Structure 1
Amino acid sequence: MIRRNWLRTQRVLLWICLVVLCTLFSGCSLELVDISTQESKDSSSSSITSQNRLRVIFLDVGQGASQLLISPSGSTMLIDAGNNDREQQMVDYLRQYGVDHLDVILGTHPDADHIGGLDVVIDHYEVGAIYMPKIQANTKTFESLLESIRDKGLKVKTAQAGLQLEWDDQVQVEMIAPVEYSEDSNNMSAVLKVTYGETSFLLTGDAERESEKAMLASGKDLSADVLLVGHHGSKSSTSLTFLQQVAPKFAVIQVGENSYGHPKQEILNRLSKNGTQVYRNDLQGTIEFASDGQHYEITTER
C-alpha cells in the first residue's frame, strides 16, 4: 500500500513538472483556427507550416498602434510604429522578427501614437516605398518623420482609396480609405484590406464614423475575418452598421494603459453581440495571425 501511494505521488509530481516546463519554454498561447468552422484545434492537428504563409503581427506598443506584415515570399510591410517613447522597441521588434529591410511603410495618419517611431525605423532600415495620406500635423513628431524621409531620399506616395499595392503576387493589398478628404486626421486614416486565399484582414488605423460611412457608401467589399478595431476601441469608431458589414470572426484592439477609457465597454459589448472573438495588446501582449490561405494560427505573447 505504501509503495502504491508513493508511485501515485511520483506520477503526480512528474505531471506537475511537465506542465511547468511546457509553460516556461513556450511563453505564449497558441490557437489553431479553421475559418470555416471557427473551432480550435489542438497542437497535434496539421499546423500551418513556416513557409507559404502570411503573418500579420499586431505589435504591443502600449497606447498606440503598429502592425508588421510578412508575406509568403518574405516581403515586409510596417504599418505605423507606436509613439515616440517606443522608438527603440520598434527597432528591437524588427530585429526579433528577422527584418533587414522594409518593402513598404504606411503611416496611417499623423497622430504621434501611430507615427512616433517611424523616423527611427526609417533611419535604421532600407525602405522601398512609403505611403501617407494627404494631411499634415504641426508637430515635432511629424517634422522629424519628414526629415528622416528626406534624408533617405524617399518620396511619399499618397495613401488613398482605390490603390492596389504591389507587395506580393499571392497577397492582394487594397487601400479602402480615405475615400474623401476630411479635416479630421483620424478620418483621413489609411485603411487597408489584405486578402490571402480565403483569409482577410481589415486594418483601420483611427478611422471613425465619418470614414466608416464613406467606406460603406463606396460599395467596396469590407468583409474580413480579422478587424483591427478603429481608434483603440473608442466609441467614435466601429459603428454597428460598419461592424455588421465587416462581420469579423476576430478583432484586435491595439491599446495600452490610458486615461481615455479605451476600449469602451460599449464597443466590447457590440463586438460580443456580433460573435467576434476579441484580442487585446494590453491583456495578451503582441498578437500574431499566421495564415496559409485557409486557416489561422493565432499566437499571443501571454
Structure 2
Amino acid sequence: MLVATSSVLAVAVALVAIALAGACVGRWPRVAVVAVCVGLVAASCAWRLADSGASPLRDAAAHHRTAALDVRVTRDARVFTRFGSDSAAVGVRVLRATVDGRSYGVGDAATAFVDGSARDLVVGRRLTMVGRLASAESTTEVATIDVVRRSSVRGAAWWWEASQRVRTGVRHAVAHTGRDPAALVPALVDGDDAAVSDRMREDFRRSGLTHLMAVSGTNLTIVLAVVLVLARSAGVRRAGLIVLGGLAVVAFVLLARPDPSVVRAAGMGVVGLAALGLGSRGGLRALAVAIIALLVVDPTLSRSVGFVLSVCATAGILVGTRPLAGRLGRWMPRWCALAVAVPIAAQLACTPALAAISGQVSLVAVPANVLAGPLVAPATVAGLAGGLLDVVSPPLARVPGTVAGWCAAAIVAIAHHAAALAGASIAWRGPWWLLLLVVPVVFVLVWRLSARPAVVLGLMLGLAVGMWRPPQVGWPPEGWLMVACDVGQGDATVIDAGGGAALVVDAGPDPAPVDRCLDRLHVKRIPVAVVTHAHADHAGGWSGLVDDRPVGRVLVGPSGGPRGWHGVVSAVSTGDGFAVGRLDVEVLWPPAGAAPPDRSDGSAMNDASVVLRVTVGATRLLLSGDLEPDAQDELLRLHPDVAADVMKMPHHGSSRQSDGFFDAVGARIATISAGEGNDYGHPAAAALHLLREHGVAWWRTDTDGDVAIVRRAGHLRVVTQH
C-alpha cells in the first residue's frame, strides 16, 4: 500500500476511499471492506503528516536555529566513527523546546547526533540538550539535532530500566564465548547488533541469514512458545495462557525496543501463533488484520523493506509449509519435513522482493536456513535465560550463556562457509515482477517433485555442486564499462575505450595482479594511463601495465609519476579534458598550479590525487584517488558539479570521508579497492555506514574479487569474479 507524500493527498485518498465504500457497501461488500481499510490507512497518514507539519520545530529546523531541548530517548544510541572520532545517533522525542527565547510544549520525533560516549543514552531516559536544528529527511521526524552540549541523563520508568538491565545481562552472559558469538546472541535475543562486524554482516547477507540479526516474528514466536509450554506444564488454562501470552508480547517489545521493526515483528509473531490454532486459512486472515492494523498505527511501514519481507515470509510459511511438508513427510520424519518446508516456502515468497531490492537471487539461502534454523531457538532461549540470570547471579548466567555461544558459533560458521561458496547468489537481470509469475511455477514444481526422494536428493546434489563450482560467466562480461581490479591493498581501475583499448587509472602495488587483470579483460593497448599520486599502492605495479602492451601518454598530478618510465608524461589539473576512444574525461582535481606535496606527509600526498570524471554514453564514473575530507570539500567549492552514477571510493574506504562530498556525487554504485585482511582496517565501518546512509550499493575487491560495472538494456549492473 502506498503512503501519500502530503497531508492533502492523504486526505483526498481517504475521502475517495470512504465514498467508494459507501457506494459499494450494499452490492459489493468485499470492495467496501477494502475501501474502508484504504481509507483508514490514508486517514492515519494524513493525521501524522498534518501533526508533523504544524510543529514549530519544523520551521526552526528549516532556518537552522539553535534550541534548548528537553528530550526523552526513544531509540538506543548507534555509535559510529566520524572523521576518526566516536559519535552516536540517537532517536529522541522532544518534549519541550526553547527557540529564540520562546518555549513550546511539543511531542515530536527527531534524531540527535552526539559526539563522545553515548552509553548512557538508552530508551526511556530523559535529558536536556542544546543543539543546532536541521531539516530531517524522514517524514516521521521534524528535525535532526547537532548537539553542542547536553546534561547527564535522568532515570527512566522502572520497566525501561529493567529491560535495559536484561539487555546488558545478555551481553555479559556471552562475553566469554568469542567475538562473533558474543555479537550474534544479543542480536538474536533483542536485536542489539551494535557489535556485529561488517565482515559478519556481509557473510549473513550472502548466505540469506540476515533476518537472524534483526528482531523478527521468529524471535517472538520462540519466546512465546517457551512461555506457553512452561505455563501449560504448570497447569495454566486457556484464559491464563492468553494473559501470559499478552504479557510476553509486551515484555518482548520492551526488551527489543518499540521500534517499527519490533512492532512489526510482534504483529507477525502473533500471526504465527494464530496460525497454530486456526490453520493456514485462519492465519491468512490474522495476517491481513495485522497488516491493516500495523499500517493504521504506522503508515510509513509500507515503505519499509523489513515490513515487506516479513509479510512475504509469513504469507509464504502460512500458504506453502503444509502442502510441501505433507509431500516431504511421505519419506522423511515429520520434524525434518517441516524444517525443510518452512525455509523453502519463506524464501520463495520473499524472492521477488529480494530481487527488486538487491538485484540478486540467493541459491544458498534455503540450505543455510535449514542448517541454521534448529540452532536459532536454543541460542535465543539460552541467551535470554543468561540475561535474566545475570540480574541475580552473573557467574551462574555464564552457563546458559555458554550454550547460547556454542549455538551462535555454529550459526556464524554456517554463514561464513555458505557465503564463501562461489555460487552463493546469482544476479537477476530481468524485471522483478517477472518473478511473481516464476515463483508460483517453481513452487508447484518443487511440490510435485518433493514426493520423490531420488529426484529431491539429485536436485540437492546438483545445486550443491553448482554453488561450490558454478559455471564461470564469460570474462569480461558483455557490456562492461569499468573494472576495479583486485590487486590487493591498492588501486587499479580499467575503463573500456573500445576496440581492445582502455584507460587505466593506477596500477596497484605489484606488477603481476594488474597484468593478470588486463589480460583477463583482453586489453591490447593503453592510449592513456593515469597515476593519481605517487604512493606505492597506486604506482608500484607500473611495469605490469607495459608488459606486452603499448602505452601512449601518462598523466600525473603534482606528486609525480611512475619511476622508470621514459615516455611522454604530462601533468594535469582541474579544467583539463581529453578523449580516449569513446570516453570523455574531465580532470576535476588538483587545482591549477598546485605545488608538489611533501612526500613524507601521507595526507598531503593523498590530497594531491588526480580526480577524474569519465563519461561513457549515458554513464558517468568518478575516480577519486585517495582524496581526504578537506580536499573533498575544497573540490566541491572549486567544482560543485561532481555528480556521477558510479564512484570509486576515496582512499580504499578509509574512515576519513566528507558527507557533503558523497551527497554531491549522488552515486548509486561504489567500488572499494582494498586488500584482504589489510592492516589499515579498510574499508572502515564509518565509510560503509556513510554509504548506507546515502543509499549507495558497494562492492569490494577484498571479498568480491574483480568488480565489473556493466550496462545492459539501459541499466547498470555489477558482475564480480574471484
Identity %: 27
Q: What is the deviation of 1:230?
A: 0.5
Q: 1:69 aligns with which of 488, 495, 499?
A: 495
Partner of 2:463: 19
Q: Does 1:79 align with 2:505?
A: yes
**Residue correspondence of structure 1 range 19-168 to structure 2 within 5 A:** 19-23=463-467, 24-27=469-472, 50=478, 53-83=479-509, 86-136=510-560, 145-147=562-564, 149-150=565-566, 154-168=567-581
Aligned CA distance change for structure 1 residues 230 and 62 (closer, same or farther; 3 Å): same
Partner of 1:9: 453
Q: 1:239 aligns with which of 658, 683, 687?
A: 658
Partner of 1:177: 589
The residue identity in structure 2 corresponding to 1:272 is: R
The answer to whether the 8 Å contact 1:54/1:291 transfers is yes
Aligned CA distance change for structure 1 residues 9 and 112 (closer, same or farther; 3 Å): same
User: What SS does the aligned partner of 1:272 have?
Assistant: helix
Q: What is the deviation of 1:127?
A: 0.7
Question: How far apart are the structure 1 equivalents of 2:524 and 2:474?
Answer: 27
Q: What is the deviation of 1:54?
A: 4.8
Q: Does 1:204 align with 2:628?
A: no
The structure that has the greater radius of gyration is: 2
Bigger share in strand: 1
Partner of 1:252: 671
Q: What is the deviation of 1:259?
A: 1.7
Q: What is the deviation of 1:245?
A: 0.4
Question: How far apart are the structure 2 equivalents of 1:159 and 1:293?
Answer: 35
Aligned residues: 266
The answer to whether the 8 Å contact 1:255/1:262 transfers is yes
The answer to whether the 8 Å contact 1:191/1:202 transfers is yes
Partner of 2:612: 192
Partner of 2:715: 295
User: What SS does the aligned partner of 2:552 have?
Assistant: strand
The residue identity in structure 1 corresponding to 2:508 is: G
The residue identity in structure 2 corresponding to 1:155 is: V
Question: How far apart are the structure 2 equivalents of 1:6 and 1:226?
Answer: 44
User: What SS does the aligned partner of 1:186 have?
Assistant: helix
Which stretch has the larger CA shift, 172-181 or 109-118? 172-181
The answer to whether the 8 Å contact 2:480/2:708 transfers is no
The answer to whether the 8 Å contact 2:706/2:720 transfers is yes
Partner of 2:270: none
Q: What is the deviation of 1:267?
A: 1.3
Question: How far apart are the structure 1 equivalents of 2:450 and 2:488?
Answer: 49
Aligned CA distance change for structure 1 residues 58 and 269 (closer, same or farther; 3 Å): same
Bigger share in helix: 2
How far does the alpha carbon of each residue in 1:64-88 deviate from its partner, in whole angstroms, 9 at most, with x for none? 11111112444311111111xx212
How far does the alpha carbon of each residue in 1:80-105 deviate from its partner, in whole angstroms, 9 at most, with x for none? 1111xx21222222222212221111
TM-score (norm 1): 0.79
The answer to whether the 8 Å contact 1:55/1:69 transfers is yes
User: What SS does the aligned partner of 1:26 have?
Assistant: coil
User: What SS does the aligned partner of 2:661 have?
Assistant: helix
How far does the alpha carbon of each residue in 1:129-171 deviate from its partner, in whole angstroms, 9 at most, with x for none? 11111224xxxxx7xx332x21xxx1101122112121024x3
Which stretch has the larger CA shift, 280-289 or 189-198? 189-198
User: What SS does the aligned partner of 2:563 have?
Assistant: helix
The answer to whether the 8 Å contact 1:186/1:206 transfers is yes
Aligned CA distance change for structure 1 residues 72 and 94 (closer, same or farther; 3 Å): closer
Question: How far apart are the structure 1 equivalents of 2:563 and 2:705?
Answer: 30
Q: Which runs of 4+ in 1 moved over 6 A?
A: 4-7
The answer to whether the 8 Å contact 1:177/1:211 transfers is no
Partner of 1:280: 700
Which stretch has the larger CA shift, 122-131 or 278-287? 122-131
Aligned CA distance change for structure 1 residues 62 and 277 (closer, same or farther; 3 Å): same
Question: How far apart are the structure 1 equivalents of 2:553 and 2:579?
Answer: 10
The answer to whether the 8 Å contact 1:66/1:80 transfers is yes
Structure 2 runs not aligned, ≥5 long: 1-329, 332-447, 598-603
Structure 1 runs not aligned, ≥5 long: 31-48, 137-141
The residue identity in structure 1 corresponding to 2:563 is: L
The residue identity in structure 2 corresponding to 1:97 is: L
Q: What is the deviation of 1:22?
A: 3.7
Partner of 2:339: none
The residue identity in structure 2 corresponding to 1:26 is: P
The residue identity in structure 1 corresponding to 2:666 is: A
Aligned CA distance change for structure 1 residues 213 and 8 (closer, same or farther; 3 Å): same
How far does the alpha carbon of each residue in 1:8-28 deviate from its partner, in whole angstroms, 9 at most, with x for none? 122213322442454324357
Q: What is the deviation of 1:196?
A: 2.3
Q: Does 1:268 align with 2:694?
A: no
Which stretch has the larger CA shift, 112-121 or 18-27? 18-27
Which stretch has the larger CA shift, 176-185 or 94-103? 176-185
Aligned CA distance change for structure 1 residues 201 and 79 (closer, same or farther; 3 Å): same
The residue identity in structure 2 corresponding to 1:11 is: V
The answer to whether the 8 Å contact 1:196/1:293 transfers is no
The residue identity in structure 2 corresponding to 1:92 is: R
Question: How far apart are the structure 1 equivalents of 2:579 and 2:720?
Answer: 29
User: What SS does the aligned partner of 2:453 have?
Assistant: helix
User: What SS does the aligned partner of 2:452 have?
Assistant: helix
Q: What is the deviation of 1:188?
A: 1.1
The residue identity in structure 1 corresponding to 2:452 is: R
Q: What is the deviation of 1:275?
A: 1.0
The residue identity in structure 1 corresponding to 2:532 is: T
The answer to whether the 8 Å contact 1:101/1:126 transfers is yes
TM-score (norm 2): 0.35
Which stretch has the larger CA shift, 114-123 or 103-112? 114-123
